[in-house]
Amino acid sequence: MGDTIDVLFVSARPRMCAAVERELQTHEPLTVTTVRTAAAAIDALSERAVDCIAVEHTVGASTDAHPAIDATDDADATDDAEDTDTLVTSDTTGETDALQVLRLVRDTDPAVPVVVYEAADASSVASEAISLDVTEYVREGEVEDPLGALARVCRDVSASYRAEQDVAMLNDLARNVYERITDGFFALDRDWQFTYVNDTAEEILEVDADDVLGKNLWDVFPGAVGTEFYTEYHRAMAAQEPVTFRDRYPPLEKTFEVRAFPSEDGLSVHFRTVVDEDAEHSDHLLELTNVLSADLLDSIEALRSDLEAAHDASDDAEEIEAALDAVDRMQSLVNYSIRLASERPTPGKPQTD
């Protein structure tokens, strides 16, 4: 979009259309296109985007000239008057019903700003217009320069509309970028609530984005409280500095490599799962220990049985009892090695005695 604001003005009164086309651009950088019917407004809206729609409401108003068009010259009025009977919102009354136009516009485009311009002696429809999501309302009889007021309102609502569109475009752009990220990615606000979760993060974290958006990270993953995830995320937010770390999350039985980037709005977290070499090594050690210890325990039990039988049949029990004590110590050592292998510490967590 350029700097000039594109306004579509709807009125059944040709002189009013001429006045608006001529006067609004003298107040603000506006380009005004006028149409006379609600249907024509919808056709125009379907053909191109506009920044604002302004519609005059004349139901109940007299047909005499009113403040906004008193300055219109007689030549313009004579030329335009030839079309008055055929270019009206209602063929029988020649009136413009702003509510009718507003309803049709909202059905077509719920977001585009709509300004109702109420003629000086028209019936007021402010409350009904509000219920139909009107953007602004200008009463001709309540301002000294009604067309100047209309121009300023069109300028302001158009600026807001453009800003909202820019934000929406950036959000769509960001969403497309995030979905292309092969790493898991999620965003948090300053209250630790999820504001975005990409597909990869859903898969890795075993969650559904719809279920977690708007929820607190620590409520969704209570097992992370008190871990390095908790410490590092809080450190990033407090210091407003990025952090990189690696930690295992036991509830998911996964080890993550994490990069977290803070901002004034919250925290952006990129992560991936990694092979936990320490855990993998320990798993192999546990498997080997279990196999060896099983064989050892079987051998120890067989040796114990033989020694006990020899003890019962021997006259020299002292030496056999010493051998049985040695067997007991051997069995204790094997059981202890099994316990050490199975109680390996989780990487990233401090060990306790």
Between CA 73 and CA 221 the distance in angstroms is 72
78 contacts 15 by C-beta, under 8 angstroms: no
Span between the terminal Cα atoms of the chain, in Å: 67
Would you state the pLDDT for residue 84?
A: 31
Between CA 305 and CA 238 the distance in angstroms is 65
249 contacts 174 by C-beta, under 8 angstroms: no
Would you state the pLDDT for residue 295?
A: 62
Would you state the pLDDT for residue 294?
A: 62
What letter does residue 158 receive in the DSSP assignment? H
What letter does residue 36 receive in the DSSP assignment? S
Would you state the pLDDT for residue 342?
A: 52
Between CA 72 and CA 53 the distance in angstroms is 22
Tens-digit pLDDT string for the chain (353 aa): 457 899 999 999 899 999 999 988 888 889 999 999 989 999 998 888 899 999 999 987 665 545 555 544 443 444 443 333 323 333 334 688 999 999 999 998 999 999 999 998 888 898 999 999 999 999 988 888 999 999 999 999 998 888 888 777 766 656 555 555 457 899 999 999 999 999 899 999 999 999 999 999 999 999 999 999 999 999 999 999 999 999 999 999 999 999 999 988 899 999 998 865 555 455 555 555 555 556 666 777 777 777 777 767 666 667 677 777 777 767 766 665 555 555 444 444 444 44
Between CA 283 and CA 277 the distance in angstroms is 10
Would you state the pLDDT for residue 28?
A: 85
Widest CA span in the chain: 141
Close Cβ partners of 21 (under 8 Å, ≥ 6 residues apart): 9, 32, 34
6 contacts 50 by C-beta, under 8 angstroms: yes
Structure tokens at 226: 């008190």
304 burial via Cβ count (<10 Å: 0-12, 13-18, 19+): middle
The amino acid at 176: N
The amino acid at 258: V
| Helix residue spans in 55-145 (DSSP H) | 74-81, 98-108, 126-131
Would you state the pLDDT for residue 83?
A: 39
* 177 backbone φψ class: left, alpha, beta (φ>0; ψ -120 to 50): alpha
31 contacts 7 by C-beta, under 8 angstroms: yes
Structure tokens at 334: 């094997």
C-alpha distances (whole Å) from 124 to each of 8, 37, 59, 117, 118 are 22, 20, 9, 10, 7
The amino acid at 67: P
Would you state the pLDDT for residue 52?
A: 94
Q: Helices 14-27 and 146-180 meet at what angle, rounded to 10?
A: 70
Between CA 33 and CA 20 the distance in angstroms is 9
65 contacts 120 by C-beta, under 8 angstroms: no
